[in-house]
Structure 1
Amino acid sequence: MIDEIFIDIAVNPTHFTFENGDLDYDLIDFMVNKSKNNGVLPVFIGTDAKTSEQVKVLADYYDCYCYVGIHPNSVLLNVDDHLSELTSLEYLIENDNNNRIIGIGECGLDTYRNKENYEKQLIIFEKQLELFKKYDLPFFFHLRDCDEMSCDSDFINLLKKYKINKGVVHSFTGKLDTMFNIIQLGLYIGINGISMKLGIDIVKELPLERMLIETDSPFCLIRKSWVAANYLDQVIKARNNCPSYIYQICEVISKIKGIKYEVVRRTVYQNTKNLF
């Protein structure tokens, strides 16, 4: 295993599954070991009570880290059931004897995939924001809106209401003015392949000092048709993304911004250490 040179802030091991939904532990094992052998430390994402418990177990086993939270697209039950899930998350945090939980998330707002449950999303999101004062953990945020029903203003206003100044909005694909509002609050922006699928304005305009990088494995692998592919020497042909491919995000950012690769790598690595 080589020295750690990257931290992948967004890895979804609970999506490495068989067709019946059971975790494919052999595939997870291959993914984690390949990552570490390439100097990449993966951080695992929880999206509800069940997956948060699963990633905590995986983080303990692999000597990695994780977030625990309720994703807006997981808010499908009645509110009381989700409040019970929050109690389970607090139990995980309070009994994290190995200090593997480094943030609350993935949580946030989404009107792109699921507008119908938006009022429930707001309630559960606020309940998770309330945990900031109690645990002082950074947040791992999800924010995705649609033109017909934007959630950006609600998101920013809630962060201000709860005085949230530690966190990252991951897999960012939003508007530039929203991005600037986010970093003005002291938060970071997570960049992966999907952030550069249709254009490069986000990366061009985002200060390197406010940037973290991720793969969002097994999703968001840069494809040949994406704008980001124009900045790669070689596009990886694979079914699934993997944390060991994170160097490609660094490579694209380096070329877009005209900054040396090693400067980008060191800066985003230190940004990640500063946040978590």
Structure 2
Amino acid sequence: MATENADAVQHQYIDIGANLTDPMFRGVYYDKQKHEDDFDAILERARNRGVKKMLVTGSNIEESRLAVQLAEQHKKLLYATVGVHPCHTMDIETSGDPDKYFAELEALARKGKEDGTVKAFGEIGMDYARLHYAPADVQRKHFTRQLDIAEKLDLPLFLHMRDCADDFNAILYPRLSTLPRRGVVHSFTGTHEEMTSFVAHGFSIGINGCSLKTEENLAVAREVPLERIMLETDAPWCEIRPSHASSKLLIQAGKHEQALKSGFDKVKKEKFVKGKMVSGRCEPCAISQVAAVVAELKGISVEELCEVAWANSVKMFGFEESVEYNNS
């Protein structure tokens, strides 16, 4: 287990998955403005916690454009992915012109890659746990179409796979010889067998609060090879909650407890207070809690884990080592 006092150490993090285009970060919940825009405060809390870089996830063409805009506005702090999440694949079906949709998606990714703002192609994949958003056949079709684009882009893949491993692998694995890059299976919640298969095929594993909910999740996360671990929050989702199996590890890690709780004062959105986090809305600063749990699982220091996860992320996505910010 870790031996250093977390209060005395400033770790540095790369959050490889943050949905910063979500309206929640502007105070909007279910199309209603509940409190003032506190986006800048969210970024500041992340910086104060040691988050040096964040990959802003694109979930459809509109959100991908917004992700790129954020990366342009916050250079060297924010970067973007471009892609269509499986739960948004019906957006392609209803666009009226899927070919045009994909052409625009590819053009956005290509230009962003050239500009240095886009570091991955995704979030693409399949999700059979939420078929009410898009039927399985639609998800399969558009996962395949997006892999066609990925073959031309030479960007790491940012993958989503939930409750669909057999179909997912049947589409992905035969394409590996023609895909120029591997990537990360983010927000991983699969089995040990699924994890080891992805690792054996050259993929990394993204771990967040959703990856640490159950005892089975913890057992799988413990076995992810260090050289394949990446840390993320999937904010505003996937916070570590008291009901999760991972919460006991935060309690066990008494040496981390004060530092992990410091700065995490929360209020309900209806009672918003400037400078405080909102209950139920995960933020990138919470990556320190994810790191603490994973370090406990691996029996190593948070510092060692952060160094390895940082190196893994820089190597895959080509982040600059510089952490100077330009927020103009």
TM-score over 0.5 (shorter chain): yes
Q: State yes or no: 1:62 paired with 2:74.
A: yes
1:59: Cα distance to partner? 0.8
Displacement of 1:29 in angstroms is: 2.1
Cα deviations by residue, 1:67-112 (Å, 9 ceiling, x for unpaired): 0100000012427644432211112123225310001111100110
Match of 2:121 in 1: 104
- How many residues align? The count is 269
Is the counterpart of residue 222 in structure 1 residue 235 in structure 2? no
Where relative contact order (Cα < 8 A, 6+ residues apart) is larger, the structure is 2
* Conservation of the 8 A alpha-carbon contact between 1:48 and 1:85: no
Question: Aligned partners of 1:22 and 1:49: how far apart in 2?
Answer: 23
Instruction: Tell me what 1:240 maps to.
Output: 281
Q: Match of 2:39?
A: 28
1:38-77 alignment, distance < 5 Å: 38-40=49-51, 41-63=53-75, 64-77=78-91
Equivalent-residue separation in structure 1 for 2:115 and 2:47 (angstroms): 19
User: Do the aligned partners of 1:209 and 1:271 also contact (CA within 8 Å) in 2?
Assistant: yes
Which amino acid in 1 is paired with 2:303? E
Q: Deviations over 1:150-194 (max 9, x none)?
A: x21221222222214511011111111111111111000100111
Give 5+ residue unaligned stretches, structure 2.
Answer: 1-9, 252-256, 267-278, 318-328
Shift of 1:125: 0.6
Output the amino acid matched with 1:27.
D
- Cα gap change, 1:230 to 1:88, in 2 (>3 Å): same
Give 5+ residue unaligned stretches, structure 1.
Answer: 146-150
Equivalent residue letter for 1:128: Q
Report % sequence identity.
32
TM-score w.r.t. the length of structure 1 is 0.90
1:187 partnered with 2:200: no
Structure having the higher Rg:
2
Q: Aligned-pair distance for 1:4?
A: 8.2
Q: Which moved more, 1:200-209 or 1:63-72?
A: 200-209
CA apart distance, 1:33: 2.6
Q: Residues 102 and 25 from structure 1, CA distance in 2 versus in 1: closer, same or farther, beyond 3 angstroms?
A: farther
Q: 1:44-67 deviations in whole A, cap 9, x for unaligned?
A: 001001100011101110112010
Whether 1:16 aligns to 2:23 is yes
> TM-score of the superposition, structure 2-length normalised?
0.76
Letter of the 1:262 partner, please give it. Answer: E
Instruction: Pick closer, same or farther for the CA change 1:4–1:120 going to 2, 3 Å.
Output: same
Equivalent residue in structure 1 for 2:219, among 201, 208, 211: 201
Contact 2:18 2:54 in 1 (8 A): yes
Asked whether the equivalents of residues 47 and 71 of structure 1 are also in contact (C-alpha less than 8 Å), the reply is yes
Q: Which moved more, 1:93-102 or 1:176-185?
A: 93-102
Deviation string for 1:16-52 (max 9, x for gaps)?
A: 3414648999322221232123321211001001100
- Name the CA distance, whole Å, in 1 between partners of 2:184 and 2:283: 20
| CA RMSD after TM alignment | 2.2
User: Residues 201 and 82 (structure 1 numbering): CA distance in 2 closer, same or farther, change over 3 Å?
Assistant: farther
